Amino acid sequence: MTLELAVAVALFAGVVAYALFGGADFGSGFYDLTAGSAHRGSELRTLVDHSIGPVWEANHVWLIYILVMWWTGFPESFASAMSTLILPMLLALLGIVLRGSSFAFRKFAPTIGQARLYGAIFAGSSLITPFFLGTVAGAIASGRVPAQGRGDLWSSWLNPTSLLGGVIAVGSSAFLAGVFLTAEAHHADRGALTASLRRRTLAVGAVTGAVVFAALIPILHDAPTLADGLTGRAAPLIIASGLAGATALALVAARRYGPARISAVAAVASVISGWGVGQYPWLLVDEVRIADGGGADATLAGLLVVVGLAGVLVLPPLVYLFRLTQSDEWVQH
């Protein structure tokens, strides 16, 4: 494996991790937004608070990891992607800022009125961010970011692949979050809450699954290079994703929430990896290959050191944090 490829793989692993962990965080905004009045929704909103509170900042750092690996490892493509996709990037950023801060504010808001304001901002912006990040992915995957300079400010992300990418990002985030929240409500013995979350998760999952497969048709026309990859090299992953998604739905329907979480994660992880494998060997599809886009070799090697250190220094505490939040003392309190 070349240095460039190794760094690209490490970078993409970050994308998958962000889609899963960040996605599950963002997705919970969907349920928060649709939970109803302050009175009716309070049980669910408190569950959301409780469930993402300890982990959201850590989950957010995956995005920082992606950006830093990208601009350090593949600087030219970062510069052109940023200037081409400035609008969706800024909108995603707006969502990130509003969401993080209003989530923190809501927790300590003195009145219901303020809590509702912050809560609405939190929940709304939770949907904005994955949507626009999805359009960014679509722009890159459909070959609309030039190797150098700036592509079209608008059509680069207002096109079928980008828009579908956005919808898929929102849907799969909401599906993941739904499975996790249902499992958590179940674990905490909240019967009514579990039932309502289960119903909504099933609906979200069915719709998202349908969209993902329906999207393949416009993508075939709009992004031929990616389509070749998706129907060729990446086909097993796409099929695996479909199977895992269907399994997750069936498990939720059967009230087997623990295993449902695993298959939901597998479904989202394989659809995202499918995109990565599908667009290989391109960094910016049709424009720059991974092999040609790398920065200085010494820097790429340095990045691999960082990745190695991350495995030693970051993963163990991260696992510990997640185990802690799933332990009985934390869930029951």
Partner 1 sequence: MSLSLLQEVLPHAVGLEPEGLLPARQQMALSLGWHIILASFGVAFPAIIWAAHWRGVYRGDDVALNLARRWAKVSAVLFAIGAVSGTVLSFEMGLLWPGLMGPYGDVLGLPFAFEGLSFFVEAIFLGMYLYGWGRVPPKRHLLMLVPMAIAGVVGSYCVISVNARMNMPVGFRVEDGQVVDVDPWAVLFNPGAILQFAHMWVAAYMVVGFTVAGVYAAGMLRGRRDRHHRLGFTIPFVFASAAAVVQPFLGHVLGLRIAEAQPAKLAAFELATETESPSPLRLGGLLIDGEVRYSLDIPGLGSIIARNSFTKPVQGLETIAPADRPPVNITHVAFQSMVGIGTLLFVAVLVYWFVRWRGRDLLDHRWTLRAAVAAGPLAVVAMEAGWIATEVGRQPWVVYGYLRTPDAAGDNPQIWILLVATAVLYTGLTVGAVVVLRSMARRWRAGEEDLPSPYGPESAAAGGASRPHDRGPEAS
Footprint on residues 295-324 left by partner 1 (CB under 8 A): 295-296, 298-300, 302-303, 306, 309-310, 313-314, 317-318, 320-321, 324
Listed in sequence order, the residues at least 6 apart from 200 whose beta carbon sits closer than 8 Å to its beta carbon are 31, 34, 178
- Please report whether residue 86 would count as binding partner 1 according to CB under 8 A: yes
The answer for residues whose C-beta is within 8 angstroms of residue 75's C-beta and 6 or more apart is 295
Site string for ligand HEM, 43-82 (x = CB under 6 A): --------------x--xx--x------------------
Q: Give least dist CB 282 to ligand HEM, A.
A: 27
Q: Is 289 helix (H, G, I), strand (E, B) or coil?
A: strand
Position 152 contacts partner 1 (CB under 8 A): no
What residues between 214 and 253 interact with partner 1 by CB under 8 A? Answer: none
Give the three-state DSSP class for 34: coil
Site size for ligand HEM (CB under 6 A) = 4
Distance CA 297, CA 304 (A): 11
Q: Binding segment for partner 1 among 210-218, 226-234, 275-283, 294-302 (CB under 8 A)? A: 294-302
Nearer to ligand HEM, 130 or 178 (CB): 130
CB of 101 to ligand HEM, least distance (A): 12
Q: Which stretch binds partner 1 (CB under 8 A): 64-72, 138-146, 157-165, 218-226?
A: 64-72
Query: Quick one: which of 26, 56, 45, 324 has its CA closest to 197?
Result: 45
CA distances from 294 to 4, 84, 126 (A): 6, 19, 33
Cα radius of gyration (the chain)? 20
Indicate left, alpha or beta for 190 from its phi (over 0: left) and psi (-120 to 50: alpha).
beta
Q: Which residue has the tokens 């349920």?
A: 31
Q: Which has the closest alpha carbon to 288: 280, 297, 300, 276?
A: 280
**CB under 5 to 8 A by kind: which of partner 1, ligand HEM, none does 131 bind?**
none
Cβ of residue 75: shortest distance to partner 1, in angstroms? Answer: 3
Residue 193 interacts with partner 1 (CB under 8 A): yes or no: yes
H/E element, 288 = strand 288-289
User: Which x/- pattern, by CB under 6 A, does the window 3-42 give for ligand HEM?
Assistant: ----------------------------------------
Which one of partner 1, ligand HEM, none is in contact with 110 (Cβ closer than 5 to 8 A by kind)? partner 1
Rounded Cα distance, 179 and 255, in Å? 10
Site residues for ligand HEM per CB under 6 A: 57, 60-61, 64
